[in-house]
Structure 1
Amino acid sequence: MAAVSEDAAAQTGTVSNVSLLVNACSAKDAADLAKRHHMPIGLHANLSEGVPVCPNIRSGSTLLNEDGFFHGKTGFRKELQNGQLSMQEVEIELRAQVKLFCELTGHLPHHMDGHQHIHVLPEVREVFAQVLSDYGIPFTRVPMEPGLQACPWLPPALRDFYTQVEKDAKESVGVFRRRGIRWPDVYLGLTTMGDNMSIASIKRAISHALDAAPSGEQVRDRPVTVELMVHPGYPSEPHQGGCGQGPDDFSRSPERRHELDTLRDPRLLAFYAQQRVQLCAFRDF
């Protein structure tokens, strides 16, 4: 399962679920591609990049910087920490994104998570869980990755960010659980993103996942479920795409094509077959 470019996802053979940024410039095309390829699709709720979809939030909102864009990955967290964000505006925008998703796809999201993991942040997670509960969206993402501390190649700043994401995710578990929201048993993808993705790194991550998977009564009669977050695609052209500000650095980089090539490698499918890994979607749980 992944938050990806649907045209690339349809070609990989190793992507079974996609997530849509509805405020992206090509959201309609992406939704149409998902329909064409019968690809299960969820909502990648976005409060940190580009412009909001709700007209009432497009000016004078605490969610926007002085240029009229969302505050960004670090800016959003800083504004939240300083108590500067309106949770009412967060809820309004999230509901507007669910509504637009329905207009683009013809159905509610099969799952809903947060771009740059904003959905597990303090305060936001309560609003996020309420919106999921109200719409009956049953699944989300809880980004706690086993083996994260055993990856010395990660730059210190990135490791610190991932560690904080995991802390926030752990603290969101009770919030989501009280609302009856579910998620896969294990999450992977922080340590295998971009240039760090390889057959070896995916194998290592899945090995950590199986070691960390819950055991006992709760999984005795069903398979262990693992979400592997990936971003396969093609580098964006400068000034084309994105969510209203143009494509970000990762979208323009060759790292997305690298992920695509890795996921299409026959050796990965052979590994899945050997390990009896069955690809599925959130709606298959």
Structure 2
Amino acid sequence: MKQVIINADDFGYSPAVNAGIVKAYQDGILTSTTLMANMPGCLEAVELAKQNPGLGVGVHMVLTCGHAITKGKTISQNGRFYSLKEYHDQRSQIDDEEIFEEWCHQIDYLLEKGLQPTHIDSHHHLHTFPENLAITERIAQKYQLPIRNAYDLEKNVSLPYQIGATGFLDLTNYPNIRNLSHSFEELKPGCLDEIRAVLNQVEDNAITELMVHPAYVDEILYFNSSFNVARVKEVSLLCDKDVAAVFNDYQIQLCHYGTTIS
């Protein structure tokens, strides 16, 4: 059996991002997403999660986008998180305990709003960075939830509540899919070949996560993220019947972190 989780990052980033993710779930093959507690579309995303109980929704821990929930003195500047580049420059000055407290507050906030998370990951994969591994392990112990095994995280830290998802692949970051000079429909043959190349890497009797970023575009996304318009093409891809047929041809069982079979 080949079990595949198709997870969309950035749920809650903005209303347009939320709309793209829900569209990709309701009309497509998306099975999972992770929610950002500190972004403008958060509360709408929580309600959408409740309205779509079949969509697995986890927590997308944030340290490099938007504003901090806590008042840590080293994790942000005037309450706003550092960019990823600034984070690398400032990390030696950032207090580990402040990161832990901020991530806990983000998770607790979503729990208080009634979200029942299936798993945890992080924006820009910060939970996999070597300097944050001890924090990641503490989070796993405290919340007893699986954490995305990106970049062989489990080889570097003991995470006791994992589901055995060994594969981690990007489904959409390839030339035809990223080509914005033509629509998905116009480039469909090349896009399908790129998807097949990814699925050729999915192993039998394994759980594999495929990362995606479907979204529509509003001003929040457009002016705050350099990765914006390209996300629209991912919505089309994930909702396309020919793409779904390719997954069927590979005998893929689609699931999320809460429905996998060990």
Question: Which one-letter code corresponds to 1:118 in the other structure?
Answer: L
Counterpart of 1:130 in structure 2 is 138
- Give me the whole-angstrom Cα distance separating, in 1, the residues matched to 2:193 and 2:217: 24
- Give me the whole-angstrom Cα distance separating, in 2, the residues matched to 1:191 and 1:13: 15
In structure 1, the gaps of 5 or more residues are: 145-169, 214-222
- Give me the whole-angstrom Cα distance separating, in 2, the residues matched to 1:12 and 1:118: 31
Counterpart selection for 1:11 from 16, 21, 26:
26
SS class of match (2:202): helix
In structure 2, the gaps of 5 or more residues are: 1-5, 12-17, 185-190
| Root mean square deviation, CA, Å | 2.3
Deviations, residues 89-143 of structure 1 (Å, cap 9, x unaligned) = 0011011011011122343x21000100100112312112211211111x11222
Q: Is 1:248 matched with 2:255?
A: no
- Give me the whole-angstrom Cα distance separating, in 1, the residues matched to 2:229 and 2:90: 31
Counterpart of 1:272 in structure 2 is 247
Q: CA deviation at 1:9?
A: 3.1
- Give me the whole-angstrom Cα distance separating, in 2, the residues matched to 1:64 and 1:202: 38
Q: CA deviation at 1:178?
A: 5.1
SS class of match (2:37): coil
Question: Which one-letter code corresponds to 1:62 in the other structure?
Answer: T
Counterpart selection for 2:75 from 63, 67, 71:
63
Question: Which one-letter code corresponds to 1:18 in the other structure?
Answer: T
Question: Which one-letter code corresponds to 2:178 in the other structure?
Answer: D
CA contact (8 A) 1:189 1:229 kept: yes
- Give me the whole-angstrom Cα distance separating, in 1, the residues matched to 2:132 and 2:239: 36
- Give me the whole-angstrom Cα distance separating, in 1, the residues matched to 2:138 and 2:68: 20
Counterpart of 1:44 in structure 2 is 60
Deviations, residues 40-80 of structure 1 (Å, cap 9, x unaligned) = 210000011111112x33xxx21113x53211112212322
- Give me the whole-angstrom Cα distance separating, in 2, the residues matched to 1:173 and 1:192: 24
1:174 and 1:185, CA in 2 relative to 1: closer, same or farther beyond 3 A?
closer
Counterpart of 2:100 in structure 1 is 91
Scaled by the length of structure 2, the TM-score of the pair is 0.80
1:174 and 1:180, CA in 2 relative to 1: closer, same or farther beyond 3 A?
farther
- Give me the whole-angstrom Cα distance separating, in 2, the residues matched to 1:118 and 1:37: 28
Scaled by the length of structure 1, the TM-score of the pair is 0.74
Counterpart of 1:72 in structure 2 is 83
Which of 7-16 and 96-105 deviates more? 7-16
Counterpart of 1:116 in structure 2 is 124
Pairs within 5 Å for 1:161-200: 170=152, 172-177=153-158, 179-189=160-170, 192=173, 195=178, 198-200=191-193
Q: Taking every aligned residue pair, what percent have the same amino acid on both sides? A: 23
CA contact (8 A) 1:19 1:41 kept: yes
Counterpart of 1:20 in structure 2 is 35
CA contact (8 A) 1:48 1:70 kept: yes
Counterpart of 2:217 in structure 1 is 235
- Give me the whole-angstrom Cα distance separating, in 1, the residues matched to 2:259 and 2:85: 34
1:183 and 1:52, CA in 2 relative to 1: closer, same or farther beyond 3 A?
farther
Count of matched residue pairs: 232
CA contact (8 A) 2:49 2:115 kept: no
- Give me the whole-angstrom Cα distance separating, in 1, the residues matched to 2:221 and 2:154: 34
Deviations, residues 154-201 of structure 1 (Å, cap 9, x unaligned) = xxxxxxxxxxxxxxxx4x424443544345120011762661693222
CA contact (8 A) 1:63 1:71 kept: yes
